[in-house]
Structures are given as structure tokens and as C-alpha cells.
Structure 1
Amino acid sequence: MNKTNYILETKNLFKTFKGFVAVNDVNLKVEEGSIHALIGPNGAGKTTCFNLLTKFHIPSSGSILFKGSDITSLAPAQIANLGIIRSFQISAVFPHLSVLDNVRVALLKNLGIEFSFWRSSKSLNQLNDRAMELLGLVGLEQYADELTVNLPYGRKRVLEIATTLAMSPSLMLLDEPTQGMGHEDVMMVTDLIATVAKGRTVLMVEHNMKVVSTIANKITVLQRGAVLAEGSYSEVSKNPQVLEAYMGSSEEH
């Protein structure tokens, strides 16, 4: 039984690669129902942390707790079954399926049913209402019958969020959700994350400080694999060590 309001915790988490310390004694606490951002310069260890949390890498030492239970030894599929869903795990959308079919495939996975191209359309149709509900939530209902390959880049990333939601996550891990987007798409996805975060917990790696300052409740700053600072945006943005880590540059962030 979890006695705290932290849905995810890491304790003294380390990861080394052939002597290189990529994650260095990270103690992370993600509060349930919050949007928690993981930021830092390139090479700070953010993606490695995500890989450890979803067990694509095995920790060299330390532990990972989810809702108070130790999940350090679990396999990636077991992690996903707990409701810890990382966007790229199921967001490699099928470009030549329709937008609706992409969401239906994700819903099939969530029901524990393997997707088969010979599966009758009738069995897929039972998922239509929920799929359209998810598309409505992310503002893609008008694109339901469109081939995914024809979507603009920003809309494809929005579809990835819809397929992530189809997996019924209690903790969503979003790895740079606005990367490569223009200003308009960035604002659209920022608003969308704030919307879908209601009733869920979001842990996100994000370089865009405008996004982080707008929606993150708490920020953890990594540098060289270690936690450099933690707190609200107003707190970390004034931290001299954080400013030095980013070399005083705000334009690219």
C-alpha cells in the first residue's frame, strides 16, 4: 500500500555503460495527478531515465517504485500492463491505415487481443465508439477516415497521443512530444497534454521551455546524469546552476 501521493519513485538509480555513468544516483518522485517535466541539456540522461523506467534498459543499481510497489525487476510488457505507457511504445502509427484504424489497433492491444489483418471488420466495429471518443478528445474526429500518411506532422503526433490514451495509462511518459513542431502545433499539443492529463499523471521529457512553463507542475533538471535542481518553473528558472547548465541561452529552449 502506497502511503504517499507519489505514483512513481526512483531510489538511488544508476545506469552505467562500459564505465560511463549515464544516470547517476537519481531520486525521482512523481506526484499522482501531476504533470512532471524532466529537462536538461543534451546528454543529461533524460532518455536513459525513460528507458530505465520502461525497462528498455536494466538499472545498474537502485530501485523503481510504482504506487509503492517495487517494479525494478519487471519486464517491459509487465510495466505496460501496470498502466505505465510510454508514447513511442505504441505510437509507431501505421501510415497506411486510417486514423480510426490506428486507434482501434491500440484498443485491441489494450484488450489483450492481437491485431490481425484478417480479423473481420465486425469485430473491429465494436471498438468504433471508444475510438471515435478518443479521436474527439484529441480533436481528430474529422480525420477518422483519412490515411495516416496524409496527416500533417503535428496531427500525426496528436494521433500518437490518442493511441497512447487507448492503452488506458495511469502514468503517461511522453518523450519530447513537441519536437520538430512549428509554433502553432506546439501550442495545440501543449493544450492537448493539459487536457488529457486530467485524471492521469504525465511524466514528460521536453526541450521547449515555453511548454514546460505553461503546463508542468514540477520540474526535475538533469545534468550529466544527476539531478541538478527540482521544483516549480519559477524556482528552477532562477537557479544559478540551471542557468549555467543551459549557458544562459533561452532561445533554443
Structure 2
Amino acid sequence: MSDYVLEAQGLSKGFRGFMAVQGVDLNVENGSIHALIGPNGAGKTTCFNLLTKFLQPSAGRIAFEGQDITQLSPAGVARRGMVRSFQISAVFGHMTALENVRIALARARGGNFDFWRGERVLIRFNDRALALLDDVGLSDSAGVPAVALSYGRKRALEIATTLALEPRLMLLDEPTAGMTEADVGRIVALIRKIRAGRTILMVEHNLSVVSGLSDRITVLARGRVLAEGDYASVSANEAVVTAYLGTDHQDV
């Protein structure tokens, strides 16, 4: 069996003649945190959407746990254990934190959104939902509507709903985007906590987050892989410094 849980070969995507992603090879090792970074317009979001099947590639192949998933739908890859979060928090705002997690648990167990029928359908998921909320530091907010949570705590709730789906690969899209420094610290600590026994691929713009969390980093520029390695090697790469950070090495 391959050491890689997710493999992309020659991944490309064109939009009316413009190639947003060109020949990207990516291998995400089982049990690692792998970051995808790059300057604005580098193709990170397009690549992420290709991997999670929200876009179909113009060329290339994607395999998850050794199985070709190139033609699958987003729901199809999610059912196989690839579950993504979004840059904008995606929770039901007027439901409580507990209710949001219970919905995810019901869906993970094959429910078809029959939760609209009422409380009795979901109450059997209470214990597991409360445990997940505790895992992400929201045990004191179980009864709070998601809309009333701070932005950072909404993101923590989204991670709880992602965990409820029991992913073998978690894909996090800009998990600290728009956060205060304090919230960034909390989310970084949370990702460290939940990484045990899991593989995580994330798109992230905050280099302090990347340096503190990532085992391996892939740098994109103009739709191509510019460099790959650990943070020390990537941050010392002159092409990365020029393309991603300019010429000021102090920022690396």
C-alpha cells in the first residue's frame, strides 16, 4: 500500500484558454499535515477545488487511498472519507452548536436530512455531539446558536462538524482567514490536538501557522509547483522568497 493517502498527477485546469493549474503533482503522506501555499493568483483555490471535486480537471489524475477518484462528485469523495471545510464558515446559523454537530453525525450514519422532523430523531446523537464539542473547546456553547458565536468559535464548530463525518483526510480551506491573533492561536492549538491519527491538507496564507503546523509544504506559483519540502527548505528557497514574499527574507 502507498504511503500517500492522496495523489495527484499532472493536474491541470483551464478556463477559456487561461491555465489556472498546470501539470501539478501532489502527494500527501498518510498521517501528515500538508500545506498548499502561494501568492495571490497562484492557483491554490483552483487546485483545492480540483482535489475536492468541486471542479473537474482539464487533464490529470487524482487518487485517494489508491483508488482513482478523478471523475467522482464532491459527495462521492466525501463518502469515501475526504471531507473539506470552507474559507467561509459553513454552519446553520440559527441552530445551536449541539444541533449542528448532531446533524453532521446523522448524515455520517446515512441519514437523509430527516432531522427536520424534530428533536426525537437526533437526540440519540447527543453524547457523541457533546464529546466533539468538548474536543474543539465548545463544551460551554452547546446551547448557543451558531450565529451568536465569535468567528473563531464558528470555525471551531465547523471543524467539529467535519470531525463528525469521521474523515480519513481533512481538507481545510484557509482555516485562520480573517481571525484575530488570539483566535488564530486557538485554531492552531485545535488543529494540533485533532491531528492525531488523521491526515490534513490545508490551504493557508498565514506563514506562522504553516511553519508551526506543517510537515510538508507545496508552493504554487502561476499554477505550477514552484517548490516542495519542509518549512526550513521552502523558506530558504530563493524562488519562493521572490515569488511569494518578495525579497525581504525577514518575513520568511
TM-score calculated relative to the size of structure 1: 0.95
- The gaps in structure 1 that reach 5 residues or longer are none
Q: Does the Cα contact within 8 Å between 1:54 and 1:84 map onto a contact in 2?
A: yes
Q: Does the Cα contact within 8 Å between 1:37 and 1:218 map onto a contact in 2?
A: yes
Q: 1:81 & 1:117 partners in 2: Cα distance? A: 19
Aligned to 2:124: 126
Aligned CA-pair RMSD: 1.7
1:117 and 1:251, CA in 2 relative to 1: closer, same or farther beyond 3 A?
farther
1:221 and 1:78, CA in 2 relative to 1: closer, same or farther beyond 3 A?
same
Aligned to 1:213: 211
Structure 1 range deviating more: 131-140 or 116-125:
116-125
Where does structure 1 differ by over 4 angstroms across 4 or more consecutive aligned residues?
249-253
Aligned to 2:102: 104
Q: 1:61 & 1:212 partners in 2: Cα distance? A: 29
Aligned to 1:139: 137
Aligned to 2:75: 77
Amino acid at match of 2:246: M
Q: Does the Cα contact within 8 Å between 1:90 and 1:163 map onto a contact in 2?
A: no
Structure 1 residue 165: Cα displacement: 0.6
Superposed counterparts of 1:10-49, under 5 Å: 10-49=8-47
Q: 1:147 & 1:11 partners in 2: Cα distance? A: 43
- The gaps in structure 2 that reach 5 residues or longer are none
Structure 1 residue 237: Cα displacement: 0.3
Structure 1 residue 250: Cα displacement: 7.2
SS of the aligned residue for 1:228 comes to strand
TM-score calculated relative to the size of structure 2: 0.95
Q: 2:109 & 2:88 partners in 1: Cα distance? A: 14
Aligned to 1:247: 246
Aligned to 2:232: 234
Superposed counterparts of 1:169-208, under 5 Å: 169-208=167-206
Render the CA deviation track for 1:227-253: whole Å, top value 9, x for unaligned: 000000000000000000121357988
Q: 1:161 & 1:40 partners in 2: Cα distance? A: 24
Aligned to 1:9: 7
Identical-pair percentage:
57
Q: 1:112 & 1:176 partners in 2: Cα distance? A: 29
SS of the aligned residue for 1:126 comes to helix
Structure 1 residue 74: Cα displacement: 1.1
Q: Does the Cα contact within 8 Å between 2:87 and 2:177 map onto a contact in 1?
A: no
Q: 1:77 & 1:38 partners in 2: Cα distance? A: 23
Q: Does the Cα contact within 8 Å between 2:173 and 2:203 map onto a contact in 1?
A: yes
1:207 and 1:118, CA in 2 relative to 1: closer, same or farther beyond 3 A?
closer
Q: 1:252 & 1:132 partners in 2: Cα distance? A: 41
Structure 1 residue 54: Cα displacement: 1.3
Aligned to 2:57: 59
**Number of residue pairs the alignment of both structures matches:** 251
Match of 2:66 among 55, 68, 84: 68
Q: 1:89 & 1:113 partners in 2: Cα distance? A: 26
Q: 2:208 & 2:235 partners in 1: Cα distance? A: 12
Q: 1:43 & 1:169 partners in 2: Cα distance? A: 29
1:117 and 1:31, CA in 2 relative to 1: closer, same or farther beyond 3 A?
closer
Match of 1:224 among 219, 222, 225: 222
SS of the aligned residue for 1:27 comes to strand
Q: 1:108 & 1:95 partners in 2: Cα distance? A: 18
Q: 1:5 & 1:130 partners in 2: Cα distance? A: 31
